[in-house]
Amino acid sequence: MIATKQQSASVVTKRDEGVILFDVTQSMVLKRLFQLVASDQPYDAAAKVLGAAAGLAVADQHPALCSALLSLRVPEQSEYVHDEAALRQHYEVLKLVLETLLTDWQSSIIDGFIFAHEISHFMFHEPDKLMLRVQAGARSAFEFALNEVCYERRPDFETIAQHYGAIHIEPAELQRIWVDLANRRMHYEENREHLIEEITCDAYALTLLMSSHARAWRPLEGGSNEKLSGFSRFAQTFFLVACLSDLHQAMIKRALLSATTGIESEKPGHIADMHFRKTALFYTIAERAMTCVPAADRNDQTFPEMLYQVKQVIGLQKQALDALVVIPITRVIKAALVAFEQDRAQQQPVELGECWQGRLGELFGESLPAATFHSAAFHSMLGGRF
């Protein structure tokens, strides 16, 4: 168990053994974000949390940028890109989702997600029967996600790019999106095996957590409809955690990009990869949902119909999260990074010492969760106000 500025768990492996480095900071950030979204808070607070997380991640490489992100201000003018009518529709969807979340289990699901994903990287190279089965499904999920994400070859490309009429995009921007999608397709194909491993790890984590949290969602009595309804609650909770983890890591990588080559450079593939993995989760969730359907009730059309239903339910959840949380937060943090790059005065060296020390209230909240840390070193890191 470690607390670092890295904010990313990892697994260190030998041929027949491994150790997981579980980053407590990552865990605490995800729990705070989950609480903000699940309790229906405006995106402002989450933007400040993620700005602080990104700042902490670049503290060693660029202290001045770290200091700027810890002081992130959210403009009064909202950063939504959808029109008001579309935002209302997305909000209605999100409200219904929030009512179904397994909030009482958020801690074990979030920590379980981090642990299980890293365990999967080890198991990927030392496969058991379950891993082999999950790997096969991940290859199908890759193809599904490729067709969903890279839609530049579809005749309704412009309609999809403009969120089916929810936003308006000028022709020049549409052309830029088309080129970007074509480049993304090449990137995904070139990184096929890496992405399949990541999709496999997400699927393995979903499978393990589905089993370990069965009593949280699976009814003791009832038919397949009740089981599917319960699994839907679990899947929506898991998907929210995956989305928040995606956003957390994407903002860190954006800040690291700003600290090296500049935010206005072409968006690197590893940021787009996370969106790809979220789309692949649709397929994975549909596969797991099939375990709730009795074998006698399955036929050749059962899985395509299940996948369609998952795309509808989880797809609407993703669209609502994108519109109300992901897009406005991304725009706020990107604007802050661009402003920092353009203001040379901000980039002067900061005072000696750790620029983040005593300034992490935005990141962790004004009070630490009970029984999370007792280390004097960690309290020293946070500063005297804690």
Q: Is the dihedral of CA 29, 33, 36, 38 positive or negative?
A: negative
Mean pLDDT of the chain: 87
Count of structural domains within the chain: 1
DSSP string, 60-99: TT-HHHHHHHHT----SS----S-HHHHHHHHHHHHHHHH
For residue 242, being part of any structural domain is answered with yes
**What DSSP designation does 326 have?**
I
What's the burial of 354, exposed, middle or buried (CB within 10 Å: 0-12/13-18/19+)? middle
pLDDT given at position 369: 52
Check: CB of residue 309 under 8 Å from CB of residue 293.
Answer: no
**Amino acid letter, 306:** M
Q: Flag whether pLDDT at 379 surpasses 80.
A: no
Give the residue numbers spanning the domain of 138: 80-344
d(Cα 359, Cα 354) in Å, to the nearest integer? 10
Greater confidence (162 vs 50) lies with: 50
Q: Is residue 29 part of a domain?
A: no
Residue 133 burial class via C-beta count within 10 angstroms: exposed 0-12, middle 13-18, buried 19 and up:
middle
Domain assignment present for 274: yes
Q: What's the pLDDT at 78?
A: 87
Nearest Cα residue to 47 out of 323, 239, 251: 251
Q: Is 54 contained in some domain?
A: no
Average pLDDT estimate for 332-342:
90
Residue 384 has pLDDT above 50, yes or no: no
Average pLDDT over residues 145-173: 88
pLDDT at 341 over 60: yes
pTM across the whole model: 0.88
pLDDT one-digit tens code per residue, 96-146: 999 999 999 999 999 999 999 999 998 888 778 899 999 999 999 999 999
Flag whether pLDDT at 378 surpasses 70.
no
pLDDT tens digits, 223-245 = 889 999 999 999 999 999 999 99
Higher pLDDT, 127 or 210: 210
CA distances from 49 to 72, 125, 219, 228 (A): 9, 35, 36, 34
Distances (CA, A) of 230 to 33, 171, 195, 291: 24, 44, 29, 12
Q: What share of the chain is helix, strand, coil (3-state, %, to 5)?
A: 70, 5, 25
How much is the average pLDDT of 8-17? 82
For residues 286 and 261, the answer to whether their CB atoms sit within 8 Å is no
- Kindly state the helix (H) or strand (E) to which residue 314 belongs, with its residue range: helix 302-321
> What sign has the CA pseudo-torsion 306, 312, 314, 315?
positive
pLDDT of the residue at 262 = 65
Residue 385: pLDDT over 90: no
Identify the CA nearest to 251 among candidates 271, 281, 268: 271
Q: Is residue 368 part of a domain?
A: no
Tell me the CA end-to-end span of the chain in Å, nearest whole number.
21
> Could you tell me the two tokens for 7?
């904010």
- Nearest residue to 57 (alpha-carbon basis) of 367, 344, 386, 337: 337
Residue 363 token pair: 């990141």
pLDDT at 353 over 70: no
Give the pLDDT score at 275: 82
Residue 184 tokens, joined:
């993304």
On the question of pLDDT at 350 being above 80, the answer is no
Question: Which pLDDT does position 364 carry in this prediction?
Answer: 78
- 75-91 burial, b if ≥16 CB within 10 A, otherwise e? eeeebbbbeeebbebbe
The answer as to whether 360 is a domain residue is no
Residue 296 lies in a domain: yes
**Which pLDDT score is estimated for 371?**
44
Is residue 58 domain-resident? Answer: no
Q: Which of 206, 247, 228, 223 is nearest to 100 (CA)?
A: 228
Which range among 122-126, 254-258, 286-290, 372-376 has the greatest average pLDDT? 286-290
- Percent of the chain past pLDDT 70, that is, above it, reads 89
